[in-house]
Each structure stands twice: as C-alpha cells, then as structure tokens.
Chains A and B, each alone.
Chain A
Amino acid sequence: MKKIFVLIALLAAFSCDYVEDPLGDVIVVDPTCVEPTFAQNTNTKRNVLIEDFTGFYCNNCPRAAYRIDTLKNNIGKQIIPVAVHVVDQFAAPRPADAPKYQTDFRTPGGNDIWTAYGGIIGLPSIMISRIDTFNNPARFQVSDLTPFNDQVRQLIDDVPVVNLQVKANYIASKSLVCAYAETEVLATLADDHSIVFMLLEDSIIDWQLYSGAGGYPFYSAGDIPDYLHKHVLRRSMNNYLGETIITGGNNVVGDKTITSSSYMVTESTWKPEHFEVVAFVYNNRTKEIMQAYKANVD
C-alpha cells in the first residue's frame, strides 16, 4: 500500500504544471520603428469592431460578409470589420480541390480569438465589440444576424470612455510594419484595460464557396474564383490579449499612453499596399472592446 501512495505522489508531482504568469514576456517593438507625433484627438464617437468568423469553404459566410459590408457602407468609418478565418473544416486548404481553396488564411492569433471567445456557435458568426451577450459564463459570439443592425446602431451612439488614434507605416527595406497608438482616458475607469494591435490585409482575391443565400448581388452560388476577401486578419501583432495599458482605479481623465507594436513580414504573398492596422482597447474584466481604430499603412 505504501508503494501505491508513493506512486500516486510521484504522478502528482510530475503531472501538474502550475502556471503563475500566464501572459509570459511582453512583446516589444522593433527598434527600427520611429514614434510619430499625434495631433489632439477630437473624436467623440465610439467605433465598433465587428469580428466576422469565416472561412472560404463556409458557403453561408458571404451572406454575413455582405451584411457587414452593407452596414459599413451605411454607417461609415465607425464600423471596423475584421474577417477572422477559422475552423479547419471551413478554412484549411483543400489539396484534393486544387487549384481551388489552397490559400491558408488561418492565423495563430485568429485561432486564439476563436478558441477564447468564439467556438460555441458555428460559422458564420460574429462578435460585436466582444459584448458579452450572456453573463457567467461569458459568451461573445452571435450567429443570428437578424437583430445585428439594431445592436450595432445602439453602440455607435455611446459616449466613448477611451479615445484612440493609430499611425502605421511599412518599412519596405526591412519588410517591417510599425504601429503606434495613442490612448486617452475620457472617463475614470474602474477596471484594467488592454490594447491589441492587429495586422489586416484588405481586398484579397481568392476562392470562396457560396450557397447563394443572403442576396449577395455580385456573386452566384457555387465556387467563386475571384471573391473579394475584405479586411482579412493576418496577424495579432502583440498577441490576442495585448498589453495592459490602463490600471483600474488608478487613472484620471486626460491620461494619455503611447503604445507600439511591430511585425516583420516574411510571407511573400502578402501585399503591403493592402495592409491595415486595427488597434482596440478592451476591458480586461468584461472583455468588451471600448474603442477601436483602423489606420491604413503608409
């Protein structure tokens, strides 16, 4: 019996990893990047980040993309869409279908977002500024697109608690994307807040499967060889959780913080002229995105 307890104790000792610092080391910006100057931020509106979980083999996903596109056309730059390609079944390259569906739009950061916040509902599904649609356990993802417009329109009238402006540039000689953000506290915040930088590529022409549902006026049902993939997430530049920049209970209105991030592009098929950088600030406790900003990469 004594031996058995020793065996159990050994198993316990060797089979448990207690993690005390889940976030590990902070990612720093490349020293080549140069910090820009920011003018006074006069924005008074809250921007809404719409993360669209999608995949080129998800035949109903163009329907969701079209709805988001229509909303953006109607509302304007307050709407910031990000297409996050996830789920192997819908987004993994399909060698058997070559030359169709060979581009892998999945990203480690996108997969992290899907596993952390999505995953409960299938595709297509979206998150609207990661608002918790169901408290405890939190749930951020919605699949029913019917009330989608109303939810977004409610948010765009909110008074922002944080302001944000972003500048980004591409250093071709080093294939380096540099991004800087200025965050300004507009209302005293009780919770910690973090900033995340995302690198997007817009207007990628590639294959997409489409069921024909949803009334997309430009495409017919079937395999579409020249589908316009918009705002595709290419990289979570400072990981999907980002970096904490505001300490809850220890901030005052007018506090400003400059944060930076960079990414060395090694993928030859990416087109820097189509790059966009999206930065957003979220509440660490509720996960809600309080402000977002999209900048073109100069």
Chain B
Amino acid sequence: MNVTVDATVISVRGLSNRFGAQVVHEGLDLDVRRGEVLAVIGGSGAGKSVLLRSIIGLQEPAAGTVHVLGTDLRSAESSVRASIERRWGVMFQDGALFSSLTVLENIKVPMIEQHKLPVDLMDELARLKIALVGLPADAAYKLPSQLSGGMRKRAGIARALALDPEILFLDEPTSGLDPLGAAGFDELIVTLKRSLDLTVFLVTHDLDSIFTCCDRVAVLVDRHVVAVDTPARISEHPHPWIQACFLGPRGRSAERALTLRTQEA
C-alpha cells in the first residue's frame, strides 16, 4: 500500500466547470494540506458545493485536474479510485442518510460493503461512531425521519467516519442549526480532527465556524479562489467581497467573539 506523507492531500489545478452557458469555475487552484481544517466560503451560488462535488468525483469538470492523496482520480483505474474513495468520508448537506435504514444500519452500510468484519464488531464500531459524534445511544435504532436536523447531520458524520477516513468532506455542516447547536458542531469538528487525525474540507458560509474551527479559509469569488489564508489574516485581504463579508456586521461580531475567547484563554 502506498501511503502519501506529502503535506498536500488535495490539489486542484486549473479547474473549470460549466452548466450550459453558465460558467461556475474557471482556472481554479486550491491545495489542502494534511491535518488542517480548510473552509471554503463564498456567496450563495458561487460554486462551493460544485467544487466539493468535483473533488469527490460526483461532478465531471470541463477542464483541469484534481489530485486526491497523490492520485488523479479522473485518469485512475476504477480499483485505484475505489481504494482512494475508501479513504475519505463525505457528509452531505442534510446528512443524506438512507431513509429506510436505522442510524446504526446506515453506519454499517460502508463497513458491510467494503470490509468483511464480524457482525458484533461492526455493531460495536457503529455504536462507537455514534458516541464519537455526540449522539445519544438510543439514536442508533431510530430512522432518519425520527431525528432532528442537527442529529441527522451528526449521524451523517458518523456514517462518513465509518471507515476511519483520512479526509472528511463536510457540506455546510452548520446550516440550519440553532446557534448553540452550530457551536457544538464546530467543537465536534475540532475534537474529531484532533483525535482521529483527520484532514477536514468544509464548505460553509458560517463566519462563526470559520473563526472557531478553521486553520485556513479559501475564498471562492468570481469563479476562482481569490485568497487562501488563516481566518485572522484573510479578513485584512483587500478584495471587496472579503471586505464586505468580514467587515460587515456579522463578520465583525464573529471576530470580536474570537478575540474575546482567546483573551479569556
């Protein structure tokens, strides 16, 4: 098995995406380093989710290359592709849990499909994932429709973690959550990243999450990434969209909260 110890786990070069006449991305470059939490922000319709889908291969790009863990997935053979795909986990916006299966069964799906493990071990592993994402134990036997939005997202992460991936993709993890739930989620991302040694790629437009849990922020405006930097430094970037976003009322309060927190600590 080839283990990449490179600092870069995802590398996107010259990516272009089009839907008919509408150009979503053009000449987009982005690197994600091992062990960091990278957030992609941008306005609604800026193509954040399309970027995520291009990286995980759900969206065929018009041009450009995407390397994940050192492999170009578009040109790779299907067996190589599958082995890379097992090393990442994806949480979709509303969890995208299989609605006819219980949470426990949802988490066991990737385990059953990819590895032949004894049933009792799989059960215990699945319950461990449920505990790791902070769901109560009785959520295991519930159907997705019996869970709240926040719990569905947590269950979605638990399924994404089923195979102990190296990279975790999160599509808008805090959207639609109450402020306390969202804060809990930010904390969860940090905890998981630290204890499971994950690289996290996260699409968001929640400024609070950016300041609490991200190492770097990539700003996606005008069809490409205009800047990648730490949250504190990116707010000083001269690009007008970034200025409007970070120096607007919500950006300022999020940053103030961060400064207060660091002073207390």
Determine if chain A interacts with chain B. no
